[in-house]
């Protein structure tokens, strides 16, 4: 067997699993789970095998199959294998595999479990498609497929109106971003006449001015796609609502992989964003920074455990986007990788807690879970520390690189640096709040008093994810990304390190003082209106309700009026009415009486003769 067939198998295994489940095993929960889990675990094993045999080296395998030919447009269906995609392959199948197994325990009692696993497999297929795509069109198609499977999984409990609404919101918001992405792709095709990543890169190196004045526009349009998928301000509103889906879905899609797709894509096409004459990077950096700060502020005053994690995800995604914006894709991908580990772990831990408390998600109704759920607690704590950036856990290294990159004088600035430090402070604060309230103190509800550790099928994935979350900094991940995307700037590391560790200590002490043994949140009394605004998510949903949605409704009403009165009324019914009127008039002539016809016949012959002669 040739080595290069392995990635194809990895890509299509989950699709076969999804098809198999939908076609044959919708009745059987166990068989569906086995198919789905088997596909992704096999994918993981094959990925490891492939990398072990082939190494990280750039096996140039592109355009394996010609797919479409329309006039001058030629689209291949190919896989691109380089350190960037291979590492992502490992993350998606590895983290995804752990989450698949965990789902088996979490969804144990749900009658819709087969449908759930089918959705999960479809998602894995689409995500692998994005990761391996070697051209824009292929990526865009899988990009949309990811949106679709996310829609299906957020709305998994579709009988709940909130879940149905959330899935619709996520899909529409994503589409908005994707529209920009599509425009960007069209513009790129118009300029280069090619959609293949490497072809565009070669062309751009040959002729750096190829994009001319459009460089910034192209960069920003492509960034639109990332803005939707990675939930960047101002399209960030869908991600917190997406927490309506089952918790493993939140862990897989809305923490580890799909939302990371935007950042991955930015790194994949970084050569475009960095093209000469483009100012896109500056905008990207600031959007990332604003998202990070805004989300961290909101997270401080949320009470739903999943929402806190959702805003934390938003904030970390903002970090990554900011890193891309300061021309440091390596730290961005590095943080994406470590974040995938510890954020998936956090979500799975939260899921374990929610499962034990019979779907209670309010942290103020938890408490004292430390001793009742030891595995969940220790893994959750580890992930929290990694997220806060405590050395020597994985998050410390990646975050430190981003903070250092923000100081890089070429692209970064002092303001961006201060922003990242502020976000680091807030991150430690809200995570400390979450852990102190949910796991320490006294049990604040009946369920919390009688909680039990989750079954093995759920705790083992926690332990499996805890390992890379802790040791992610020593695996040489940054070095691997660096080989492809360029090494991170080596300056300022000591300063960044000192500042981030200081932020953790300071912020933790602050949170300790406020939340140790707290029965209620003391913050609203201290900062009043600001806390209320944070709790209400800075009124973004209300703002969109009042502007975008109102506008859309007005436009829809106008379109409806036009359709009813102009198209259906004037055009369609007008033509139909005129014809009918003529018909009715002509029908009067048809008396049915033979002699009338004879008379008219004679009369017309007479008239004819009169005129002719």
| Contact positions vs other proteins (CB under 8 A) | 587, 590-595, 598-599, 602
Q: Which is nearer to other proteins, 53 or 586 (CB)?
A: 586
585 to 580, 590, 592, 599: CA distances (angstroms): 9, 10, 15, 20
Q: Which is nearer to other proteins, 161 or 592 (CB)?
A: 592
Q: How far is the CB of 594 from other proteins (least distance, A)?
A: 5
> Is the bond preceding residue 392 a cis peptide, omega within 30 degrees?
yes
Q: Which is nearer to other proteins, 371 or 595 (CB)?
A: 595
- In Å, the largest CA–CA distance within the chain is 118
Q: How far is the CB of 148 from other proteins (least distance, A)?
A: 54
484 to 56, 198, 270, 325, 580: CA distances (angstroms): 10, 13, 11, 17, 72
Q: Which is nearer to other proteins, 559 or 600 (CB)?
A: 600
Are 7 and 81 spatial neighbours (Cβ–Cβ below 8 Å)?
A: yes
Q: How far is the CB of 602 from other proteins (least distance, A)?
A: 6
The alpha helices in 391-455, defined as continuous H runs, are: 394-407, 414-439, 446-449
Q: Which is nearer to other proteins, 529 or 609 (CB)?
A: 609
202 CB-near residues (< 8 Å, 6+ apart) = none
Kindly give the pairing relationship between strand 65-70 and strand 73-77. antiparallel
Q: How far apart are CA 217 and CA 283, in angstroms?
A: 11
CA torsion through residues 550, 551, 554, 559, sign = negative
Q: How far is the CB of 600 from other proteins (least distance, A)?
A: 10
Are 214 and 187 spatial neighbours (Cβ–Cβ below 8 Å)?
A: yes
Are 454 and 376 spatial neighbours (Cβ–Cβ below 8 Å)?
A: yes
Compute the radius of gyration of the chain from its Cα atoms.
30
Q: How far apart are CA 278 and CA 274, in angstroms?
A: 7
323 to 317, 336, 398, 575: CA distances (angstroms): 10, 11, 10, 61
Q: How far is the CB of 593 from other proteins (least distance, A)?
A: 6
Q: How far is the CB of 586 from other proteins (least distance, A)?
A: 11
Buried/exposed code over 442-459 (b: 16+ C-beta within 10 A; e: otherwise): ebbeeebeebebbeeebb
Q: How far apart are CA 567 and CA 561, in angstroms?
A: 9
Provide the residue count of the chain. 613
- From 196, 207, 343, select the one nearest 277 (Cα to Cα): 207
| Tokens matching residue 166 | 């959330």
Q: Which is nearer to other proteins, 213 or 594 (CB)?
A: 594
Q: Which is nearer to other proteins, 71 or 583 (CB)?
A: 583
Q: How far is the CB of 590 from other proteins (least distance, A)?
A: 6
Q: How far is the CB of 166 from other proteins (least distance, A)?
A: 59
Q: How far is the CB of 574 from other proteins (least distance, A)?
A: 25
332 CB-near residues (< 8 Å, 6+ apart) = 263, 266, 267, 320, 321, 323, 324, 402
Q: Which is nearer to other proteins, 65 or 585 (CB)?
A: 585
Q: How far apart are CA 373 and CA 361, in angstroms?
A: 16
Q: How far is the CB of 576 from other proteins (least distance, A)?
A: 19
CA 128 to chain centre: 14
Q: How far apart are CA 194 and CA 63, in angstroms?
A: 12
Query: Residue 165, class by beta-carbon neighbours within 10 Å (0-12 exposed, 13-18 middle, 19+ buried)?
Result: middle
Q: Which is nearer to other proteins, 371 or 590 (CB)?
A: 590
Q: How far is the CB of 112 from other proteins (least distance, A)?
A: 58
Q: How far apart are CA 181 and CA 528, in angstroms?
A: 41
Q: Which is nearer to other proteins, 452 or 587 (CB)?
A: 587
Q: Which is nearer to other proteins, 111 or 592 (CB)?
A: 592
Q: How far is the CB of 595 from other proteins (least distance, A)?
A: 6
Q: How far is the CB of 573 from other proteins (least distance, A)?
A: 23
Q: H or E segment at 69?
A: strand 65-70
Q: How far is the CB of 597 from other proteins (least distance, A)?
A: 9
Q: How far is the CB of 599 from other proteins (least distance, A)?
A: 5
Q: Which is nearer to other proteins, 371 or 593 (CB)?
A: 593
Q: Which is nearer to other proteins, 487 or 596 (CB)?
A: 596
Q: Which is nearer to other proteins, 562 or 599 (CB)?
A: 599
256 to 99, 299, 427, 492, 566: CA distances (angstroms): 10, 18, 18, 29, 50
Q: How far apart are CA 48 and CA 459, in angstroms?
A: 23
Residue 133: helix, strand or coil by DSSP? strand
Q: Which is nearer to other proteins, 3 or 605 (CB)?
A: 605
């Amino acid at each position: 067997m040739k080595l290069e067939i392995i990635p194809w198998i990895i890509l299509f295994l989950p699709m076969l699993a999804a098809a198999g489940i939908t076609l044959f095993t919708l009745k059987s929960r166990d068989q569906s789970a086995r198919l789905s889990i088997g596909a992704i675990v096999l994918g993981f094993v094959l990925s490891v095998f492939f990398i072990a045999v082939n190494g990280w080296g750039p096996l140039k395998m592109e355009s394996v199959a010609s797919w479409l030919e329309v006039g001058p447009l030629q689209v291949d269906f190919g896989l691109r294998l380089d350190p960037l995609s291979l590492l992502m392959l490992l993350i998606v199948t590895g983290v995804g595999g752990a989450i698949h197994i965990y789902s088996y325990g979490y969804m144990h009692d749900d009658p819709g479990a087969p449908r759930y696993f089918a959705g999960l497999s479809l998602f894995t297929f689409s995500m692998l498609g994005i990761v391996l795509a070697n051209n824009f069109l292929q990526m865009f198609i899988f990009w949309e497929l990811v949106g679709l499977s996310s829609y299906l999984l957020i709305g998994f409990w579709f009988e709940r109106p909130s879940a149905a609404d959330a899935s619709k919101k996520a899909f529409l918001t994503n589409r908005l971003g994707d529209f920009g992405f599509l425009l960007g792709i069209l513009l790129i095709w118009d300029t280069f006449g090619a959609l293949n990543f490497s072809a565009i890169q070669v062309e751009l190196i040959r002729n750096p001015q190829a994009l001319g004045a459009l460089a910034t526009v192209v960069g920003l349009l492509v960034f639109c796609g990332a803005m939707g998928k990675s939930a960047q301000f101002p399209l960030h509103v869908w991600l917190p609502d997406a927490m309506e889906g089952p918790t493993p879905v939140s862990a897989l899609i809305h923490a580890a992989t799909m939302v990371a797709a935007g950042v991955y894509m930015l790194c994949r096409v970084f050569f475009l964003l960095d093209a000469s004459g483009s100012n896109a990077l500056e905008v990207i950096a600031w959007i990332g920074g604003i998202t990070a700060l805004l989300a961290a502020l909101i997270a401080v005053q949320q009470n739903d455990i999943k929402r806190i994690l959702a805003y934390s995800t938003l904030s970390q995604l903002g970090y990554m986007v900011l890193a891309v914006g300061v021309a440091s894709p390596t730290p961005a991908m590095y943080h994406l990788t470590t974040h995938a580990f510890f954020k998936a772990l956090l979500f799975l831990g939260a899921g374990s807690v929610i499962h034990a408390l019979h779907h209670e998600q309010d942290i103020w109704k938890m408490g004292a879970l430390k001793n009742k759920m030891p595995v969940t607690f220790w893994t959750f704590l580890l992930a929290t520390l990694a997220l806060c950036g405590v050395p020597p856990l994985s998050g410390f290294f990646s975050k430190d690189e981003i903070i250092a990159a923000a100081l890089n004088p070429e692209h970064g600035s002092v303001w961006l640096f201060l922003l990242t430090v502020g976000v680091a402070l807030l991150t430690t604060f809200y995570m400390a709040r979450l852990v102190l309230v949910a796991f320490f103190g006294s049990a604040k509800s009946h369920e919390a008093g009688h909680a039990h550790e989750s079954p093995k099928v759920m705790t083992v994935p926690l332990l499996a994810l805890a390992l890379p979350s802790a040791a992610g900094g020593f695996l040489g991940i940054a070095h691997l990304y660096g080989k492809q995307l360029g090494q991170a700037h080596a300056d300022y590391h000591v300063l960044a390190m000192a500042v981030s560790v200081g932020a953790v200590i300071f912020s933790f002490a602050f949170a300790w003082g406020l939340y140790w043994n707290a029965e209620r949140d003391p913050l609203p009394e201290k900062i009043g209106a600001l806390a209320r605004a944070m709790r209400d998510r800075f009124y973004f949903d209300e703002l969109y309700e009042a502007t975008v949605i109102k506008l859309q409704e007005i436009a829809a009403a106008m379109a409806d009026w036009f359709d009813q009165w102009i198209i259906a009324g004037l055009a369609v019914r007008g033509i139909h009415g005129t014809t009918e009127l003529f018909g009715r008039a002509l029908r009067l002539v048809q008396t049915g009486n033979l002699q009338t016809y004879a008379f008219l016949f004679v009369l017309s012959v007479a008239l004819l003769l009169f005129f002719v002669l």
